[in-house]
């Protein structure tokens, strides 16, 4: 699968442009705070509309201003792990995972996700009782259970100590290498980008 993206979009008070053309399994987008990295992910996921350009993932066009194509977020099949995770605080881990699950898909089942992520023992706990690393795993699990065609990861190591950060890095490597799921990663960490990414896009 390939990422073919060339968009102009509004990020805060400034217009930004970004072009990505890659068949890499993991592409990193990096740059300073305020460069428009998170807004770019929102555009790809369908949560923000670019000013113009196109977004193609594999053989599917998600957005194209020239042809007036603009797929709804639920049709884009993006597994989005937000920087602030957005777990439902009133739901258990199991319920958070079930919320995003596409039951008609055979890509990954609930039990398989629990085993793959190593969080089966957390199923009946609530987000407020989880460590930062555990909560990240649950958020990644919810994205995987949505049967995505690709993953969007926004600063997945934010607020984690070195040990928990290493656990999440290894998990991302497993998703990249074992599941073969294309990943677009936003990160400001040179170490994280160098370790994970095959292609890197630098936003000024």
CB atoms within 10 A of CB 94: 17
Alpha helices, H only, 62-149: 73-76, 93-99, 110-117, 132-145
Stretch 128-132: mean pLDDT, rounded? 93
- Would you state the pLDDT for residue 15? 95
Closest by alpha carbon to 150, among 35, 50, 34, 22? Answer: 22
- Would you state the pLDDT for residue 161? 86
> How much of the chain, in percent, has pLDDT values that exceed 70?
97
- Would you state the pLDDT for residue 103? 63
The CA distances from residue 3 to 19, 43, 54, 75, 171, in Å, are: 10, 14, 11, 17, 22
Stretch 17-44: mean pLDDT, rounded? 95
Residue 139 pLDDT exceeds 80? yes
- Would you state the pLDDT for residue 181? 86
User: pLDDT tens-digit profile of 162-185?
Assistant: 888 898 999 999 999 988 889 999
The total number of structural domains that make up the chain:
1
Domain with 46 in it: what CATH number? 3.40.50.300
Q: Which domain holds residue 155?
A: 3-202
The CA distances from residue 31 to 11, 38, 176, 187, in Å, are: 14, 11, 22, 8
User: pLDDT tens-digit profile of 71-128?
Assistant: 999 999 999 999 888 999 999 999 999 887 776 555 677 788 888 888 999 999 999 9
């Amino acid at each position: 699968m390939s990422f073919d993206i060339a968009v102009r979009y509004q990020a805060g008070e400034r217009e930004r442009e970004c072009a990505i053309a890659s068949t890499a399994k993991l592409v990193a987008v990096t740059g300073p705070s305020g460069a428009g990295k998170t807004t770019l992910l929102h555009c790809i996921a369908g949560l923000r509309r670019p000013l113009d350009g196109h977004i193609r993932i594999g053989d599917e066009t998600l957005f194209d201003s020239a042809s007036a194509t603009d797929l709804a977020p639920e049709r884009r099949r993006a597994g989005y792990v937000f920087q602030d995770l957005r777990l439902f605080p009133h739901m258990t881990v199991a319920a958070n995972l079930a919320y995003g699950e596409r039951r008609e898909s055979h890509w990954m089942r609930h039990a398989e996700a629990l085993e793959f992520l190593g969080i089966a023992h957390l199923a009946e706990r609530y987000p407020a009782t989880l460590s930062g690393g555990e909560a990240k795993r649950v958020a990644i699990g919810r994205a995987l259970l949505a049967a995505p065609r690709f993953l969007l990861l926004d600063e997945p190591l934010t607020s984690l100590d070195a040990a928990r950060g290493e656990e999440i890095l290894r998990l991302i490597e497993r998703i990249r290498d074992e599941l073969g799921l294309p990943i677009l990663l936003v990160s400001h960490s040179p170490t994280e980008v160098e370790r994970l990414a095959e292609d890197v896009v630098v936003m000024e």
